[in-house]
């Protein structure tokens, strides 16, 4: 535990969105940092409390236009921007010596060709891809602590990798049969005017989307391959749920050899027994209710003796462990705070 220094100043770019405002709420509870400036685009000039009325009486700041001079006075900047918008900002911040945690997907993939294929855009700062550390604390804590640039994992990949990586590391699953079915709340789609995301269309409805070409596929495969030491190809189908927050993931896996629930529990214990935000249980089936509003991931698993397959399930809050919560967890590691500060 370090002596907490309230003079550590933290800025947020994209503070008006769902992830950005969640960062703000978490940092207000954090005892070691001062927050601001809060950069936005279309909301510049508006009081924070106008867009986020729950913060009325607690935050009297207004959203400011992006300025590198303002930003460079911060120790660390969170980028919570739509896809592509971090491309010009992150290099600039790095050049000014500001630490960066990017909540978007612009710097997660090591391979710029993958970025182009799945994000449908050229990568304009590929030299930073190798410098960015993938911010999955449970697997990269040391690199995160030393990093200047952190690519915060995607919401779906977080919900998938944490349950899956221990099994990949142990080699117990068939790498050629990883079937992933995920379901997300609407805040995962960001804050924007869209007839498709209107209440009248989403309520009572469920549907798959971006079947077979979601931009999180290469991120998931990249992380699995690093641990597997070989090529891994997954089938990932995301669905939009009529809930505001939360991701539930159900994976169906073929086992290389018979394995029991206690053996699986032992695998998780080995990897995660000291992890403050990972919970697993062979008995309880994870649900959104157990994680929404928290930075936890819940993991459950069932071996089916009929089929020899393993059903692996997880739940996270897409805005917390899936975005802002994990970002603050990374910040805590990077800046030397207690890892759970502001998050319990």
Q: Which of residues 38-77 bind its own copies (CB under 8 A)?
A: 50, 53-54, 56-58
Judged by CB under 8 A, the stretch of 80-88, 103-111, 149-157, 302-310 that binds its own copies is: 302-310
Q: Which two tokens stand for residue 227?
A: 């641990």
Q: 203, 230, 273, 274: which one contacts its own copies (CB under 8 A)?
A: 203
Q: Which two tokens stand for residue 194?
A: 């869209």
Q: 1, 2, 3, 193: which one contacts its own copies (CB under 8 A)?
A: 193
- Told to check if 216 binds its own copies by CB under 8 A, we report no
Judged by CB under 8 A, the stretch of 1-9, 72-80, 163-171, 209-217 that binds its own copies is: 209-217
Greatest distance between any 2 Cα atoms in the chain: 63
Judged by CB under 8 A, the stretch of 64-72, 102-110, 257-265, 299-307 that binds its own copies is: 299-307
Q: CA-based angle 316:322:323, to the nearest 5?
A: 145
Q: 34, 170, 208, 228: which one contacts its own copies (CB under 8 A)?
A: 208
Within positions 228 to 247, which residues make up the interface with its own copies, using CB under 8 A?
Answer: 233-235, 237, 239, 241-246
Of the pair 43, 152, the CB lying nearest its own copies is at 43
Per-residue binding string, its own copies, 306-325, x by CB under 8 A, is xx-x-x-x-x----------
Of the pair 85, 244, the CB lying nearest its own copies is at 244
Question: What kind and span of H or E run contains 331?
Answer: helix 325-335
Q: Which two tokens stand for residue 316?
A: 């996270």
CB of 57 vs its own copies, minimal distance in Å: 5
Ordered DSSP codes for 57-106: TT---B-B---HHHHTTSSEEEE---TTTHHHHHHHHHHTT-EEEE-SST
- Told to check if 113 binds its own copies by CB under 8 A, we report no
CB of 248 vs its own copies, minimal distance in Å: 5
- Told to check if 287 binds its own copies by CB under 8 A, we report yes
**CA atoms of 290 and 326, how far apart (whole Å):** 17
Of the pair 21, 334, the CB lying nearest its own copies is at 21
CB of 216 vs its own copies, minimal distance in Å: 14
Buried b (16+ CB within 10 A) or exposed e, 158-176: bbbbbbbbbbbebebbebe
Q: Which residues contact 69 (CB under 8 A, 6 or more apart)?
A: none
CB of 294 vs its own copies, minimal distance in Å: 6
**CA atoms of 309 and 328, how far apart (whole Å):** 36
**CA atoms of 341 and 17, how far apart (whole Å):** 23
Within positions 118 to 177, which residues make up the interface with its own copies, using CB under 8 A?
Answer: 177
Q: Which residues are catalytic?
A: 155
- Told to check if 195 binds its own copies by CB under 8 A, we report yes
Do 330 and 150 contact (CB within 8 A), yes or no?
yes
Q: For residue 27, is it left (φ>0), alpha (ψ between -120 and 50) or beta?
A: alpha
Of the pair 124, 198, the CB lying nearest its own copies is at 198
């Amino acid at each position: 535990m370090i002596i907490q220094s309230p003079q550590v100043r933290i800025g947020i770019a994209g503070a008006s969105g769902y992830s950005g405002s969640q960062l703000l709420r978490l940092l207000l509870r954090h005892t070691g940092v001062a927050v601001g400036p809060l950069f936005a685009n279309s909301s510049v000039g508006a009081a924070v409390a106008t867009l986020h009325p729950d913060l009325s009486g607690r935050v009297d700041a207004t959203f400011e236009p992006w300025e590198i001079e303002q930003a460079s006075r911060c120790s660390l900047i969170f980028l919570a921007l739509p896809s592509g918008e971090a491309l010009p900002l992150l290099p600039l911040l790095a050049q000014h010596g500001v630490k960066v945690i990017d909540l978007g997907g612009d710097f997660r993939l090591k391979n710029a060709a993958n970025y182009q294929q799945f994000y449908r855009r050229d990568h304009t700062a590929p030299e930073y891809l190798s410098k960015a550390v993938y911010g999955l604390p449970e697997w990269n804590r040391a690199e995160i602590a030393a990093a200047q640039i952190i690519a915060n994992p995607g919401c779906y990949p977080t919900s998938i990798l944490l349950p899956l990586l221990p099994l990949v590391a142990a080699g117990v699953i068939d790498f050629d049969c990883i079937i992933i079915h995920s379901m997300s709340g609407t805040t995962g789609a960001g804050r924007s005017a869209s007839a498709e995301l209107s209440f009248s269309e989403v309520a009572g409805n469920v549907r798959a989307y971006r079947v077979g070409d979601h931009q999180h596929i290469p991120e998931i495969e990249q992380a699995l391959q690093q641990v597997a030491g070989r090529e891994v190809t997954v089938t990932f189908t995301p669905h939009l749920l009529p809930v505001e927050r939360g991701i539930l993931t159900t994976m169906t896996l073929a086992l290389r050899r018979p394995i029991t629930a206690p053996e699986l529990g032992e695998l998780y214990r080995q990897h995660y027994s000291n992890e403050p935000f990972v919970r697993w249980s062979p008995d309880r089936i994870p649900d959104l209710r157990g994680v929404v509003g928290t930075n936890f991931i819940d993991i459950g698993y069932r071996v089916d003796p009929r089929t020899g397959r393993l059903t692996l399930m997880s739940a996270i809050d897409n805005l917390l462990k899936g975005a802002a919560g994990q970002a603050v967890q990374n910040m805590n590691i990077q800046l030397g705070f207690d890892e759970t500060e502001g998050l319990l």
